[in-house]
Amino acid sequence: MSKLTNLWLRLEPLLAAAERPARYLNHEFGCVRKDDADFRFCMVYPDTYELGQANQALRILVNAVNAAEHLAAERAFLPAPAFCDTLRAEGIPLFSLESCAPVAEFDAVGITLPHELAAANVLETLDLAGIPLHADKRAEDDPLVLGGGPCAFNPEPYAPFFDAISIGEGEEAVPEALALIRRLRQEGAPRAAILRALAQTPGWYVPSLYRWRSEEEAQAAGLWIEPLEDGLPERIEKRLYEGFSASSGWEPCIVPFTEVVHDRLNVEILRGCARGCRFCQAGMMYRPVRERTADNVVNSVLAGLAATGYDEVSLTSLSSTDHSQIAQILTRLNRALDGKGVRISVPSQRLDAFGVDMAGLVAGQKKGGLTFAPEAGTQRLRDVINKNVTEDDLFGAIDAAFAAGWRRCKLYFMIGLPTETDDDIKGIASLAQRAYDRAKAAVAPEQRGSVRVSVSVALFVPKAQTPFQWDGQIAPEEALRRVDLLRRSVKYKAVDVHWHDPSTSFVEAVMSRGGREAAQWVEGAWRRGARFDAWTECFNEEAWREAAAACGIDPAAVAQTAWPTDRVMPWAHISTGVSERFLARERRLAQEGRTTPDCTFGRCTACGACPDLGAENQLAAPRTPSGAHAADAADEGRCEEGEARDA
């Protein structure tokens, strides 16, 4: 009996008692097996199937690896908490979905780092797989553990747990690295030699080959890391997939047996965003902007719907209504799909781009809820964060949406933003109430009872690689005071207020701003029971508090201290292409309440990404400014040439 058959025979009887057993079943429509490949890679999402299978990055990387000769990629997901315990009790290791093979038996394992609250789940994944937690404890026959994803732009809190970390976009970087590992292993190279080769490959960071300096040393040297060998780069520049615009928006995808989040066809229509919101990490790390053409998008959607049978398609990106051909795309899709019961959704809608025409094009006859993100309650604070939208933009979007048939709208805000005052908090309540008034006025009197406006507030998390990386987070106690002020300031019973738990946002801030010492905190919390921290019912605040005391770090100092812009941050050796001088200038402009326009609507703002990466914005057609950006494009005083050169 083969090892794989034996594992399945042990697993199968347990599924009857598992919650949602379809999470663990193979042979979904569209899954791929490459039994003839001689190098096997397992891509792991460190959360349950419902979350991971919907993740576009996982799909992209599995497809990219499977497209390469000699390489095979399979998927694995972390079981739900109770089933994790069942597998441990039965001595069954974490397994891949395609072949039910133990993850520890693959040649290489990739674990994506989607958000900071997945940190403890990385250790849960490794432990359940039977792979040593620390890279320096792994033997020659253990798989190489590779990381990547958004949190890789501050890799240090994860550094001891990964053999190598991919910085940037992985469509080309991951298959290239796996092919390198395969070749070196066939040549008999030891693990250490493979890691040295990876460290000299563009876009790859191997933490074990760098000494972590003390605070005093780092500030004097200008970097926290010191190469342990000659020939290693001191700075790791992100990899950019320059072929994105020309690549097809449709690629094979799996239709799952069970419902997943965002259970629909997802077609990425553009990558990157240059709006320049000063709190937004994604807007800095995915530059420059690259658009797929309208022909590409429309053909991709139609091909994907025909291949999968989905009845909903989402046109995904950081800012989909910014696409220079979005009106043409929606018009053509609405015409092609008329009468077929397919819903088209645009999940990221800009207030200043959602006018009457856009309201008529989005979602066809199926009107669910809309989400708009003013982010701050006053224009002063929106200028501080460079949101570049106005109250008129919001009210215009509300008028258009509710006149076009929508009846529910969520407004997303942050509290604790730099320079925020109580007046800004009260401004959220005022803005939400006036938005509700506009929504009611836009519908017929007999329909006003169905109008709903809700407010969702999250605590600001200072993210690495952003202009606000030097700003501290407010304490959880202060966050709750501000939430209470907001709730008391909202007088309309029809306006619901929801907020995120400040305790989880505190962990996010520590993980976002921490150095290599934060890894000890993560491990200590995991050993005390922390896992699935993004799940409200599973978050274990006590485990994180006890771990901090045990390892002697002050997480509040990491999360809440504000630093001058000349302080060397723990991720200074990781480059997004956006220069630190630009980030420092943006922080200064924030303190002055001055905005910076989007370069895709006008002139270059000298962020540094294009020259540093040897690339440039790739637009399908010229973009036309609207709303606040139209004013910015005409205002030559917004970004003086001298300031741009200084950046």
pLDDT tens, position by position, 275-304: 999 999 999 999 999 999 999 999 999 999
Residues 6+ apart with CB under 8 A from 254: 28, 29, 30, 31, 53, 59
> How many other β-carbons are positioned within 10 Å of the β-carbon of residue 487?
13
Q: Are strands 290-291 and 270-271 parallel, antiparallel or unpaired?
A: antiparallel
Residues 6+ apart with CB under 8 A from 86: 14, 17, 18, 79
Question: Closest Cα partner for 334 from 292, 306, 362, 294?
Answer: 362
Spatial separation of the C-alpha atoms in residues 523 and 509, rounded to whole Å = 17
Predicted local distance difference test score (pLDDT) of residue 5: 59
The proportion of the chain whose per-residue pLDDT surpasses 70, expressed as a percent, equals: 94
Sign for the pseudo-dihedral over CA of 441, 442, 447, 451: negative
Question: What are the φ/ψ torsions at residue 573 (nearest 5 degrees)?
Answer: -85, 0
> How many other β-carbons are positioned within 10 Å of the β-carbon of residue 306?
10
Element containing residue 588 per DSSP (H, E): helix 580-591
Q: Which pair of tokens denotes residue 267? A: 């077609």
Spatial separation of the C-alpha atoms in residues 377 and 382, rounded to whole Å = 8
What's the mean per-residue pLDDT of the chain? 92
Q: Which pair of tokens denotes residue 573? A: 């050796």
The answer to whether 322 and 273 are in contact (CB under 8 A) is: yes
Residues 6+ apart with CB under 8 A from 177: 146, 164, 166, 198, 201, 204
The one-character DSSP state at 112 is E
The answer to whether 287 and 598 are in contact (CB under 8 A) is: no
Spatial separation of the C-alpha atoms in residues 245 and 198, rounded to whole Å = 27
Burial class (CB in 10 A: 0-12, 13-18, 19+), 316: buried
For 600, how many CA atoms within 13 A lie in the half-sphere containing its CB? 26
Distances (CA, A) of 201 to 123, 173, 176, 177, 461: 26, 9, 9, 8, 32
Question: What are the φ/ψ torsions at residue 239 (nearest 5 degrees)?
Answer: -85, 140
Mean pLDDT of 232-255: 94
Spatial separation of the C-alpha atoms in residues 362 and 400, rounded to whole Å = 11
The beta strand positions in 439-518, using DSSP E, are 452-459, 495-499
The answer to whether 184 and 197 are in contact (CB under 8 A) is: yes
Q: What's the pLDDT tens digit per position in 296-333?
A: 999 999 999 999 999 999 999 998 989 999 999 999 99
Burial class (CB in 10 A: 0-12, 13-18, 19+), 214: exposed
Predicted local distance difference test score (pLDDT) of residue 350: 79
Least confident of 149-158, 360-369, 433-442: 360-369
Mean pLDDT of 593-622: 94
Sign for the pseudo-dihedral over CA of 19, 25, 31, 35: positive
Predicted local distance difference test score (pLDDT) of residue 404: 86
Spatial separation of the C-alpha atoms in residues 251 and 64, rounded to whole Å = 10
Would you say residue 421 has pLDDT above 90?
yes
Residues 6+ apart with CB under 8 A from 176: 201
The answer to whether 172 and 214 are in contact (CB under 8 A) is: no
Spatial separation of the C-alpha atoms in residues 629 and 321, rounded to whole Å = 14
Q: Which pair of tokens denotes residue 349? A: 């809608």
- Residues counted in the chain: 647
Predicted local distance difference test score (pLDDT) of residue 637: 35
The answer to whether 355 and 393 are in contact (CB under 8 A) is: no
Predicted local distance difference test score (pLDDT) of residue 130: 97
Spatial separation of the C-alpha atoms in residues 170 and 466, rounded to whole Å = 22
Spatial separation of the C-alpha atoms in residues 206 and 172, rounded to whole Å = 18
> How many other β-carbons are positioned within 10 Å of the β-carbon of residue 431?
21
Q: What's the pLDDT tens digit per position in 498-520?
A: 999 999 999 999 999 999 999 99
Read off the pLDDT band of 644 (50, 70, 90).
very low
Predicted local distance difference test score (pLDDT) of residue 304: 96
Helix (H, G, I), strand (E, B) or coil at 320: helix
Spatial separation of the C-alpha atoms in residues 203 and 168, rounded to whole Å = 7
